[in-house]
Amino acid sequence: MGIIFNQKEQVFLLNTPNTTYGIAIADDKYLLHLYYGKRLEQESVRYLLREDEPPFVPSKNLREKNSFLDCAPMEYPEAGMGDYRESAISIRSIDGYRGSELFYEGYDIEEGKPKLEGLPATWGGASDCTTLKLYCKDQLLGIKVTLLYTVFEQLDVVTRSVVVENHGEDPVYLEKVLSACIDMDDRGFEVMGLFGSWARERHIQKMPLGYGRQNISSFKGESSHQEHPFLALVTPEVTQEVGEVYAMNFVYSGNFIAQVEKNQFDSVRMTMGIHPEGFTWKLDKGERFVAPEVVMVYSSEGLGKMTRTFHNLYREHLIRSPYLHQKRPILINNWEATYFDFDEKKLLDIAKEASQLGIEMLVMDDGWFGHRSSDNSSLGDWFVNENKLKGGLHQLVENVKQTGMKFGIWFEPEMISPDSELFKKHPDWAIQIPGREITQSRAQYVLDLTRDEVIDGVYQMVSDVLHSADISYVKWDMNRQLTTIGSCKLPADRQGEIYHRYVLGMYKMQERLLQEFPNLLLENCSGGGARFDAGMLYYSPQIWCSDDTDAIERLAIQEGTALIYPVSTIGAHVSVCPNHTVGRETPFDTRGNVAMLGTFGYELDITKLSKEDKQSVCEQTKQYHKYNDLVREGDYYRLTSYRENSYYDSWMIVSKDKKKALLTYVQVKARANGKSRFVRLQGLDANKTYTIQGKEYLGSTLLYAGLRFSAEFGDYKSQMIEIEEV
C-alpha cells in the first residue's frame, strides 16, 4: 500500500516506487509538511519536523505563535493569521473578516481515486492508486477543508486537490483556494517554466531562484500562449539524466498561478492553483467548492525521468479518448491552403489529390458557416454557408468520402461575433460589463458559458451540424482571451466566479459532445497552442500545438511541449515554404521529420505541390504508418537541444521493450569548419545488440560513446534513423 499512517508518530507517508511524501500532525493539530523527495525506507521520521527548535510548538510557546506560523512548513497555509508567505487559502466571512485556522480532525485512506465533480482529473482504480483524505476544520466559520492526495502505485506521482465545504450557518467568500503547496529548504534550486507568445508557445526557460516571490501565471481566462501551468524546481546540476526535479502541473485550463517563494530562512514554498486575481467564490451554507488537481512529480534522475513519468501518467490515467492508442488518420487541413477563400470544388480537389498520396482525412477549417469570409463575422451562426458550399455539408462530406477520405470540421463554440445572427438575437450572451464597451479581440466576443441556456443554445447548433453529415473529427478552437469580465445573469456577489464558471461551462460542453458522439476524434486548439494543457487532454487526445508550422520554430515549441505532454498529443503538420509565419525555407523531408513527433498531417494546398514534393508526401505517409505505433506508445528521450547548443537538435523514441527506437537528428545550422560529433543515445538496453543502417552496435556503446553525425553542408538538414534489436 502506498500510504502509511504511523499512529505513534502521527505521520503520514505517501510512497511511490521511488519517492516519499510526508505529512505530520503537530501537537497543536496543525498539518505540517514533513518531506518530499527520494523514497525513505524508514517509517519513524518525525524528527524532520524540528520540533525541538523554537518556536515550533505554539501550545508550549504561545508568545511566539506568529513566528511559528511564519516559518513552520505548513501543509495548507491560511491567510490572515500570521504566515506572511504565500497562503493557499483565504476566506472572508460574511462580516468581512479575512482569516481562518484549519486544524486536523481525521483522515481516510481509500483505494482508487474519487472523481472531482465537473473537473478533468487523472483517474485510476483500486489496483492503480490509493487516496488519502485529510479532514481539517475552521471551527469559527464552520468550514471543512479536505486535502486529497492520490498516490499512483506504479508511477512516481502524487496528485493533490482540495474540497472546501461550508458547514456553518452563514455564507463565506473564498478569495483564494490553491490546490497544492510544499515547503522545503532551498538547495540552490533553479526555477524552470514554459514561456512564449502566439506562434512561439512553451519555450523552456530556467532562472535562478532569488529571495522573494517568482511566479508564472495567467489571468487571461485560459492557460495561455504566454505562461504555462507548469513549474519545476531543479537542482543546479540538472540535465536530462541527472539532478533532482520537483515539478507541478495543473490539470486545469483557466487562470492559474504557479509560484515559488524563498524566504528569510532560506526555505522555499512552491504553490499552484487557480489565480486569486479576479476570483471570489461565494460558498453558501451546505455548498462545496472543488479545487482542480495538481500533479506532482519528483525525479532524482533528471528531467528525462520527470518527462516520462508525466507521459506515462497522462497516457494511462488522464486521456480517455478511444483514439489514444490508435493511429490517428493522417489529415490535411485547408487553413494554410486557402484561409477563408474556398468552396466545395476547392476542398474536393484537395481531397482527391490528397487521397492519392496516402492522406486519410480532410479537415475543413474556419469559414464554412454564417456569412463568414474573413474573421470579422458569424461566430455563433453554426449553420452552413450554402453560397460557399453549394449542395450543402452532407453532399460535400459524401463527395469527400467518395475519394476514400474521412471528413473533419472546425468550430469555435465559445465565441460570438458582434456581426452575427446570434448576437442580434442574444446580445446579453456575451461576457460583458453592462454599460461598458466590450473589448474586441479578433473582432469577436466570448460567450457567457456560466449560463446553461447559452451552453444549451450553442451546443444544440454544433450537435445539429454533426448529425447532418458523417463527420469523424472536430477541431475545437478558442481564438481570444477573456476581458470585460461580467455576466448579465449572475448576482453581484457571484461575479467573482465568472472565470472559473466559464471553464466549468466549457468542460461541460466538451463532456456533452463526447457523450453524444463517442466516436468523434476531438482536437482542441486555441489560436494555436494557448490551451495546450492537461485539463484539455482529459477531453481530447490531441491538441493543435502552435499556429507556427515552420519546422525549425517547431523544434523549441515541441521540445517544451514534450517536456510534459506525450508526443501522441502534439498536433503537428507539414506546411509549405516560405513558411507563412516566419518566411523560412526548409527541406520538405525536415518538415516531415519534425511533424512525425506528433499526430502528423498536412496544412497546405496539395494541388499546388511540385511532383517531387508529392512524392515526398507519399513517402512520409508510409513512414507515418511504419513508425506511429512506436512514436505514440514509446518512451521519449531528449538527446540534445538546439536551444542550448545553437546547432543541433535530437531526440529518440524507444519502445517500452527497448527492442526498437527511432532517432531524429536536425542540423539546424551548418557550422563553418564543423567536425562530426557524437551524440550519446538514451533509453536503450546496454546489453542488447542493435542494428543501425546495416551496422551492429552494443547498446552500451551507443549509450556511453554515442553515434557519429557528420557536419553537413547547409542548414536545416535532418535524418530519421531506425534502431532495431538484432
Write out the H or E segment, with its range, that includes residue 423: helix 421-425
Active-site residue, 613 included: no
Q: How far is the CB of 464 from ligand GLA (least distance, A)?
A: 21
Q: What is the SS3 assignment for 537?
A: helix
Centre a 10 Å sphere on the Cβ of residue 206 and count the other Cβ atoms it contains.
Answer: 12
Rg, C-alpha atoms of the chain: 27
Write out the H or E segment, with its range, that includes residue 340: none
Q: How far is the CB of 565 from ligand GLA (least distance, A)?
A: 17
**The C-alpha cell of 402 is what?**
467518395
Is residue 72 within 8 Å of residue 56, measured between CB atoms?
yes
Is the CB of 156 or the CB of 477 nearer to ligand GLA? 477
Report which of 656, 660, 651, 720 is spatially closest to residue 688, judged by C-alpha positions: 660
Is the CB of 192 or the CB of 363 nearer to ligand GLA? 363
Report which of 203, 238, 239, 114 is spatially closest to residue 680, judged by C-alpha positions: 239
Is the CB of 365 or the CB of 553 nearer to ligand GLA? 365
CB-based closest residue to ligand GLA: 366
Which DSSP string corresponds to 321-336? Answer: -TTTTSPPPPEEESHH
What's the rounded Cα separation, in Å, for the pair 513 and 425? 24
What's the rounded Cα separation, in Å, for the pair 683 and 635? 8
Q: How far is the CB of 198 from ligand GLA (least distance, A)?
A: 8
Q: One of 381, 419, 533, 547 is an active-site residue; which one?
A: 547
Q: One of 128, 381, 448, 477 is an active-site residue; which one?
A: 477
**DSSP state, residue 112:** S
The pairing of beta strand 473-476 with beta strand 406-411:
parallel
Q: How far is the CB of 603 from ligand GLA (least distance, A)?
A: 8
Active-site residue, 547 included: yes
For cell 500570521, the residue is: 82
Report which of 576, 579, 597 is spatially closest to residue 639, judged by C-alpha positions: 597
Which DSSP string corresponds to 148-190? Answer: EEEEESSSSEEEEEEEEEE-SSS-EEEEEEEEEEEEEE--S-E
Q: For residue 58, is the peptide bond before it cis, meaning its omega torsion is within 30 degrees of 0? A: no
**The C-alpha cell of 137 is what?**
476544520
Centre a 10 Å sphere on the Cβ of residue 345 and count the other Cβ atoms it contains.
Answer: 11
What's the rounded Cα separation, in Å, for the pair 621 and 610? 17
What's the rounded Cα separation, in Å, for the pair 168 and 151? 31
Q: How far is the CB of 535 from ligand GLA (least distance, A)?
A: 18
For cell 502521527, the residue is: 10
Return the amino acid letter for 430. A
**The C-alpha cell of 583 is what?**
518566411
| b/e 513-539 (16+ beta carbons within 10 angstroms → b) | bbeebeebbbbbbbbbbbbbbbbbbbb
- Which positions touch ligand GLA (CB under 6 A)? 335, 365-366, 410, 477, 479, 525, 527-528, 544, 547
Q: How far is the CB of 484 from ligand GLA (least distance, A)?
A: 22
**The C-alpha cell of 330 is what?**
493522417
Centre a 10 Å sphere on the Cβ of residue 119 and count the other Cβ atoms it contains.
Answer: 19
Centre a 10 Å sphere on the Cβ of residue 290 and count the other Cβ atoms it contains.
Answer: 21
The CA-to-CA distance between both ends of the chain, in Å, stands at: 40
Q: What is the largest CA-CA distance in the chain?
A: 83
Is residue 36 within 8 Å of residue 246, measured between CB atoms?
yes
Which DSSP string corresponds to 588-630? Answer: HHHHHHHHTSSS-EEES-GGGS-HHHHHHHHHHHHHHHHHHHH
Is the CB of 301 or the CB of 603 nearer to ligand GLA? 603
Q: How far is the CB of 201 from ligand GLA (least distance, A)?
A: 11
Q: 44 in the Ramachandran plot: left (φ > 0), alpha (ψ -120 to 50) or beta?
A: beta
How many helices (H) and strands (E) are present in the chain, helices listed first?
14, 38
Q: Which residues pair with 178 in a beta bridge?
A: 273
Is the CB of 333 or the CB of 623 nearer to ligand GLA? 333
What's the rounded Cα separation, in Å, for the pair 662 and 513? 36
Report which of 216, 212, 214, 213 is spatially closest to residue 226, judged by C-alpha positions: 216
The answer for residues whose C-beta is within 8 angstroms of residue 21's C-beta and 6 or more apart is: 13, 14, 35, 36, 149, 151, 158, 296
* Residues with catalytic roles: 477, 547
